[in-house]
Structure 1
Amino acid sequence: MTDSTLWWLLTGGAIVVELLTGTFYLLMLAIGLACAALAAHAGASQVVQVLVAAVIGGGAVAIWHYKRTKQPPGPPVGANRDVNLDVGETVFVEAWHADGTATVKYRGASWTVVPRTGSTPSTGQHRVAEVVGNRLVVDKI
């Protein structure tokens, strides 16, 4: 088996594991492995092939990690519209209970609604800001 074949098999294996786990860093390492395969096709020695795989793969991982740390963190899962489609929807609160909660009909079921911390309960239209367990945290519109 030639060196390039081994590098291509390692590249394919890294891609398969990345697809199964969702670890994007493995895709960066696969880029390094593919570059080592290309170096093997070009006739580079095994030491150069390993160095190419390590430098390019490791460099891609380092650049991706640096880029990710510079991005602002996303909202928590309960308030993230990409994760929870209830965030941003509207509900109508008719009356508040003495304990600061309300019950509303939403999506064909009864939900417990609480106002966001620091806001006072009032009746009317509210927008779902977050879902905490089985409670909707709402803001007055």
Structure 2
Amino acid sequence: MADSTLWWLAAGALVALELVTGTFYLLMMALGLAAAAVSAHLGLALTGQWVTAALAGGGSVLIWRLLKKSQPAAAPANANHDVNLDIGETVQVDSFHADGSCSVIYRGARWDATLAPGEATTPGRYTIVEVVGSRLILKTTRTSTSGA
């Protein structure tokens, strides 16, 4: 069997293994084996084929790692694995119902809201700390005072 055929079979085996495992580095190594197969077709000696496989496969792995390191890190997800842009926004509470809940106007619509545990039912500005279904959970907005 020709050297090039062995290189092609080995490259195909690595591609199949990569499909099963999802390891992108195996694909880079298969690229090196394919380069060795091409060098065998070009009549390079067996030693040259091995050097070609090592340089092409190892070089592509190194280049891939450098590219991965140059990419910015992914933004961390919150505990619920979603992004809720409402958290941190402020609303004005004018009055509370007898059960401690309230209604607020937020984003042009009326929302039901309740206070986080330990909060006093005092009208004023509140910060959205959680959204449960369609209900806002609020905490008192803290304002900093400077001693001038």
Q: Which residue of 1 aligns with 2:115?
A: 97
Structure 1 residues 121 and 8 mapped into 2: Cα distance closer, same or farther (>3 Å)?
Answer: farther
TM-score normalised according to structure 1 size:
0.62
Kindly report structure 1 stretches of 4+ aligned residues shifted beyond 3 Å. Answer: 86-93, 112-115
User: Over aligned residue pairs, what C-alpha RMSD do you find?
Assistant: 3.1
Number of equivalences:
107
1:60 equivalent in structure 2: 60
TM-score (norm 2): 0.59
Q: Greater CA radius of gyration, 1 or 2?
A: 2
| SS at structure 1 position matched to 2:133 | strand
Is the 1:96–1:121 contact (alpha carbons within 8 Å) kept by the matching residues of 2? no
Q: Distance in 2 between matches of 1:24 and 1:55?
A: 17
19 and 96 in structure 1: CA distance in 2 versus 1, 3 angstrom threshold: same
Give 1:96 shift: 2.8
| Cα gap change, 1:32 to 1:113, in 2 (>3 Å) | farther
Further displaced range: 67-76 or 88-97: 88-97
Distance 2:11 2:33 in 1: 5
Does the aligned pair in 1 maintain the 2:14–2:26 contact within 8 Å?
A: yes
Equivalents in 2 of 1:31, 1:19: separation in Å? Answer: 14
Distance in 2 of aligned mates of 1:21 and 1:70: 25
Higher helix share: 1
Cα displacement (A) at 1:98: 2.8
